[in-house]
Amino acid sequence: MEKRDYMDQLIADYNRIKKFSDEAYESVFHKLILRRVSRGEILKKVDTVDIKSRYICEGFLGLYQEGKAGFQLVRIFGKSDTAFDEKSFRTNIPSKSIIKALSDTVYLGFTLEAETELLAKKPEFYSLALEVVHRINKRHVEQEAIKAKKFKEGFPLLLKKLPGIGQYLKNQDLADLFNCSISTVERLKYTLMNEHEKDL
């Protein structure tokens, strides 16, 4: 797929939130940067400012925060999510987090500078931007609610919410995400994944 195909995917998604003409999106198209990244690639390094938001077209990205035992997975972004270190992005302050590709991923990048410029020229996009922020926050709250559950209950919900994610998460990532022991993950992970597959 080419950039235009992924742009059409973004437009179709955002039109479900608030409809704009394809022509209105033309100014957005030129600001977006199509990136294809490989699993394990770090997109935002520690102690740097996150300068772009990433609309995920395919794949999964993870937000990791520095902890006592290294970097710990705290949030997963999947298809149609906007992936960024929100605090660093909005404040222009370096953070101790990294963003890493959990799988081979395709995304459309949009810098804060481009966003500011676009909203200045196309103020009608403000309402869409607010709705997108609302969706980002809603999905974050939903994922936090899943993480708050015990691994046995939460992992199947995560698999349902982010189809295909199970194969990309290391046991340590899951232990960090659900704040449980790695032995709990090792004991239950494949049983839960198999049960999930049967339910599909």
Residue-wise pLDDT for 128-181, tens only, equals: 999 999 999 999 999 999 999 999 999 999 999 999 999 999 999 999 999 999
Instruction: For the chain, state the CA radius of gyration.
Output: 18
Rounded Cα distance between 32 and 148, Å, is 35
Rounded Cα distance between 26 and 7, Å, is 10
Which of these, 22, 31, 23, 20, lies nearest to 115 by C-alpha position?
Answer: 31
Domain regions of the chain by residue span: 3-147, 149-200
Whole-Å CA distances, 192 to 11, 46, 113, 179: 35, 33, 43, 17
Rounded Cα distance between 161 and 147, Å, is 12
The amino acid sitting at 38 is S
pLDDT for 23: 86
Q: Look at residue 100 and give its three-state secondary structure.
A: strand
**Confidence band for 199, pLDDT divided at 50, 70 and 90:** confident
Q: Rounded to two decimals, what is the model's pTM?
A: 0.94
Phi-psi region at 179: left, alpha or beta (left = phi > 0; alpha = psi -120 to 50) = left
Q: What is the assigned CATH class of domain 3-147?
A: mainly beta
